[in-house]
A and B are shown apart, each in its own frame.
Chain A
Amino acid sequence: MQLKKGLVGLITVGLLAGATVAPAAVLADGHEKDIRIEVVSHGQASDPFWSVVQNGVNAAASDMGVTANYSAPGTFDMVAMGQLIDTAVASQPDGIVVSLPDADALGPAIEAAVAAGIPVISMNSGSDDYAALGILSHVGQTEYEAGLGGGTRMGAAGVTKALCINQEVGNTALDLRCQGFADALGAVGGTSEVIAVDLADPAATQATVEAALTADPEVNGVLTLGPTGALPTLEALNSMGMTGEIALATFDLAPEVLQAIADGTMLFAIDQQQFLQGYLPIVMLTLHNQFGGLIPGGGGVVLTGPGFVTADNAEAVIDLSAEGIR
């Protein structure tokens, strides 16, 4: 009957489709087990910052000869991220790398991973929370200190009143950056105010920055916390004709940021060198698996930043940025 034939046909198609997506490696006797590491971050695939991390992950996997899978939720959603961590745990990997923007929300999922005997390393965010959850080490930049460093440099450049543009208020790491920045400025008698913007809407961000600058003409310094804040701010200064009049600095790199530094319209960028945040954990977990539990850092933080990019080294970094390494 035609109906039955149709069903058989459909099932066949389904199986063929399944064949193309099946993972290649299945256990067989006598072979050494391939090492597989699952990376779960909160950074969307569309975010240029995180694609550098992903490049680091891929480079390390290829250099070490292991498999590394990268996944992230579509929006900044702790519920979805927790579920992705659960999925990673279910696949019984040899190690898990996570970012930790919200330790409260992700705690249960990570504790489950640790309880299942899977070694976990955190990166990028959560430098204050990781140890309590049983995570072996943290690879990243301690945010407060980075903010502090930035504030010190800005203060030395003569900034007295500054704005801190935060594109993800509530992300503890970003909040700490602004906090460190404000404290450093405060130590030399300056002030800083946090301005919240939407990381996904550059036009609105630009408008918000312009409004803030117009509202307070005494502002002479602006710190942004990432390209999603930096680029619209550059545009804003441009359209207000204030380029070069305000000391501008940012966290993290992007081609436009590097160009601005080279041109002199931006003072410096704080580079957390996120490539290393993708690269190092893979190396660490591979060694941990191969050699009976080696773990660099002694359980502490392995720092990847802050690195400062100024007019002196901007050109060199520009080339690396185009390759997705910085």
Chain B
Amino acid sequence: MSEAKRQDERVRTRNPLQAALSRPSAGAIIATIIAFLVFTWPLWECVGDAQACTANGFLTPRGISNWLEVAAQVGILAAAVTLLMIGGEFDLSVGSMIGAAGMVLALSIAEFGLDPWMAALVAFGFALVIGALNGWLVTRTGLPSFIVTLGMLFLLRGATIGITRLLTDRTQVGGLREFTDGDMFVQFFAGDLIIGDFSISASVFWWVLVTVVAWWVLTRTTFGNWIFGTGGNATAARNVGVPVRGVKISLFMATAASAALLACIQVFTVASADVLRGEQKELEAIAASVIGGTLLTGGYGSPIGAFFGALMLGMTKVGIPLASIPAEWYFAVLGIVLLVGVLLSNWVRRRGTGVRS
């Protein structure tokens, strides 16, 4: 048996297209491109005529900034949720955490007089504790994370409403502008970067940053290998020395932290917190992940794919009103787009890898 690597006759060279399509994010990229084409279709006649090109607003600087911002809000969550799903677990409580962390932030500033940066630390600390609690409950009890985090979804939301009303007799905490105007720290979350005609919200930069960090951790670190192993076969991973429990608890803390980040961005942007913020966001984040190629069964997925999944959702949410689809049909169309996105992503993956799973 020769030691040298020889050209095996069983290895074929795939053309670059097929190789590219077998990446988990391929389906999401294609879905995003199609969504883009759909929402800009009416403008194709416009080549050369700038006025017509911007007729429905989708391609104007303002429009682009708009759907980027909407995408960013889903994307920030989706990056962390993707890592957790690759690790084999779900977190349905991120939506409630957005409301809870946001309220912690606002109350710290308005009721307890903390500086914005300190209040943000408190909010993040709160989220990390709850995230660790989620992880501890799941790994200790062996219950499906779906159920554990569903319970936490209700618990967090209820506690947010109850405690807020206890402290303020209202369900919103507003009037934060006097504390946040001119504060440099707040600008990191709520500011906009003006580039020419474009006003890119800070959330977009956070989105890109969080996605890059997630991708790096997953593919370029030991911890990332542990995430794959934990989701692929937790028993096997445990037996070769991977600290499965620690990995899962860390991932739950990451999703909670991403919710806190989004809460800070929202609260600082609109200068108020609401007990109902974040409703249904957990489902949108999971949808973006799945469109991005992440399997619900764990062990496989891509933060880059989730990035494009979120981008597609953002384009769709803004594109629907801009296409003059009546408001009563908004949810129906969004649902159809979601289903098509997931089906497409699945089909591309099966075609590319040849694996039926």
Tell me the number of A-to-B contacts counted with CB atoms below 8 Å. Answer: 145
Distance between Cα atoms of A78 and B274 in the complex (Å): 8
Q: Is the CB of B63 within 8 A of A104?
A: no
The answer, yes or no, to whether A215 is at the interface (CB within 8 Å) is no
B112 interface residue (CB < 8 Å to A): no
The 8 Å CB contact of A104, one of B38, B55, B174, B326, is B174
**Most chain A C-beta atoms within 10 Å of own C-beta, residue among B18, B56, B175, B325:** B56
Kindly list chain B residues whose C-beta atoms are within 8 Å of the C-beta of A316: none
Known: A7-B30, A14-B37, A78-B270. A169 touches B171 (CB 8 A): yes
Mask, B163-178, CB within 8 Å of A = 1, is 0010001111011110
Partner of A74, one of B57, B63, B65, B280: B280
Residue B282 at the chain A interface, CB threshold 8 Å: no
Whether, in the assembled complex, A27 has its beta carbon less than 8 Å from a beta carbon of chain B, the answer is yes
A residues 47-98 in Cβ contact with B at 8 Å: 54, 67, 69-72, 74-79, 82-84, 86-92
Structural contact, B66 and A27, CB atoms closer than 8 A: no
| Cα distance, A258 to B210, chains bound together (Å) | 54
A15:B37 contact, CB within 8 angstroms:
yes
B: interface residue count bin: 35 or more
CB distance B321 to A169 under 8 Å? no
* Minimum Cβ distance to chain A for residue B307 (Å): 19
Which secondary structure dominates chain A's binding surface? helix
A3, B18: Cβ atoms under 8 Å? yes
A84, A92, A102, A106: the one within 8 Å of B321 (CB): A84
Q: Which of A18-26, A135-143, A146-154 touches B?
A: A18-26
Binding site for B on A (CB under 8 A): 3-4, 6-7, 10-11, 14-15, 17-19, 21-23, 26-27, 45, 54, 67, 69-72, 74-79, 82-84, 86-92, 102, 104-106, 108, 116, 169-170, 196
Q: Report 21 cross-chain contacts, Cβ distance below 8 Å, ordered by A residue.
A: A7-B30, A10-B30, A11-B37, A14-B37, A19-B41, A21-B325, A23-B323, A27-B52, A45-B328, A71-B327, A72-B327, A74-B330, A79-B270, A87-B57, A87-B63, A87-B321, A90-B60, A91-B56, A102-B172, A104-B175, A196-B171
Give residues in B with beta carbon < 8 Å to A: 17-18, 21, 30, 34, 37-39, 41-42, 45, 51-52, 54-58, 60, 62-63, 65-66, 69-70, 73, 165, 169-172, 174-177, 266, 269-272, 274, 276-277, 279-280, 318, 321-328, 330-331, 333, 344, 347, 351
